[in-house]
Amino acid sequence: MPQLNSNARHRVFLNTAEVASLIGISKQTILNWMNRGIIIEPQRNPVNNYRQWSEADVLRIRDMIRSGTLIRIVIANQRGGVSKTTTTHTLARLFADQGKRVLLVDTDSQGSLGQVLGLKPIRFLHEFIVNDLAFEDCIVKAHERIDVLCSNRENNKAEISLQGMTFGELAFMRLFGRVEKLYDVVLIDVAPSINILQTCAMVYTKNVLIPVAMDVLSLQGPWRVWKQRDC
């Protein structure tokens, strides 16, 4: 994807080909939708007359084409020790027992999800994001119907890469949009802190489950998560 410079961060646009690549459809499909009035044509650059798509434009197209059957959930709380990973694991098993195909994504550099499941991955999330390795080479099968994309302490490489991308917070749409047709459920376990990976997960799923314990600090976490979701 195109790179940002520090002065253009808040005034960046994508062209039609870049939008198509990000969402996982063809440029011609977008042009056909505009001709048929399905989507509104964006503003044009006054210098070169190219269409320039904003982040809001991209999200509207994403929401229009998404399947209504795929379940996407982020499990988050800005407080550790509230059973986020246990909740993720339990939900995965529940959905799998119902016959659903589940993808688990761990974005926490502690790699707790893989440890809980007793997995020994050789490839990790940062390699899928930064090195563009094939998805099937990065996942580990934890169950007949559960695949896991694990993390480790090198997640900072992914964060640095995403922060340098145009619309980096939309990266999970592009990365997982290519493979989500293989699954019925995508569950993302995030770290107990605000970072670009958590933002990517929330933008991609739009659904957040917040486990809490009955203590003051744990109950403050959901408020922070909700504020981030609304940003």
Between CA 95 and CA 193 the distance in angstroms is 27
Say yes or no: 149 and 224 in one domain: yes
Say yes or no: 196 and 112 in one domain: yes
In the chain the first and final C-alpha atoms are separated, in Å, by 23
pTM, rounded to two decimals: 0.72
Residue 222 falls within a domain, yes or no? yes
Assess whether pLDDT exceeds 70 at residue 1: no
The pLDDT value recorded for residue 225 is 54
How far CA 91 is from CA of 14, 15, 113, in Å, comes to 37, 39, 13
* DSSP conformation letters of 153-193: TTHHHHHHHHHTBTTGGGHHHHHHHTTGGG-SEEEEE--SS
CA atoms within a 13 Å half-sphere pointing along the CA-CB vector of 4: 19
Of the two residues 2 and 174, the one the predictor is more confident about is 174
Say yes or no: 82 and 195 in one domain: yes
Say yes or no: 131 and 22 in one domain: no
Say yes or no: 61 and 76 in one domain: no
Say yes or no: 23 and 120 in one domain: no
The pLDDT value recorded for residue 9 is 41
Say yes or no: 42 and 140 in one domain: no
Say yes or no: 85 and 196 in one domain: yes
Percent of the chain with pLDDT over 70: 85
Q: How many domains does the chain have?
A: 2
Residue 7 falls within a domain, yes or no? no
166-208: per-residue pLDDT in tens?
A: 788 889 988 998 888 899 999 999 988 888 999 999 989 888 8
Q: What is the residue range of 44's domain?
A: 16-65
The pLDDT value recorded for residue 68 is 57
Mean pLDDT of 140-155: 95
β-bridge partners, 53: 14
Of the two residues 153 and 11, the one the predictor is more confident about is 153
Query: 229 falls in which pLDDT band (50, 70, 90)?
Result: low
Where residue 196 sits, what CATH number does that domain have?
3.40.50.300
Residue 94 falls within a domain, yes or no? yes
Say yes or no: 55 and 134 in one domain: no
Residue 119 falls within a domain, yes or no? yes
47-87: per-residue pLDDT in tens?
A: 888 899 988 888 888 777 765 578 999 998 877 777 889 99
Between CA 182 and CA 179 the distance in angstroms is 6
The pLDDT value recorded for residue 6 is 36
Q: Which of 137-141, 147-151, 211-215 shows the lowest per-residue confidence on average (mean pLDDT)? A: 211-215
Say yes or no: 24 and 138 in one domain: no
Residue 8 falls within a domain, yes or no? no
Residue 10 falls within a domain, yes or no? no
Say yes or no: 75 and 60 in one domain: no
**Chain mean pLDDT for the chain:** 84
Strand segments, DSSP code E, in 59-145 are 71-75, 102-106, 139-143
Residue 2 falls within a domain, yes or no? no
Residue 106 falls within a domain, yes or no? yes
The pLDDT value recorded for residue 165 is 84
Mean pLDDT of 100-113: 94
The pLDDT value recorded for residue 151 is 95
Between CA 62 and CA 58 the distance in angstroms is 6
Where residue 27 sits, what CATH number does that domain have?
1.10.1660.10
Say yes or no: 226 and 191 in one domain: yes
Two tokens at 55?
């982040």
Assess whether pLDDT exceeds 90 at residue 215: no
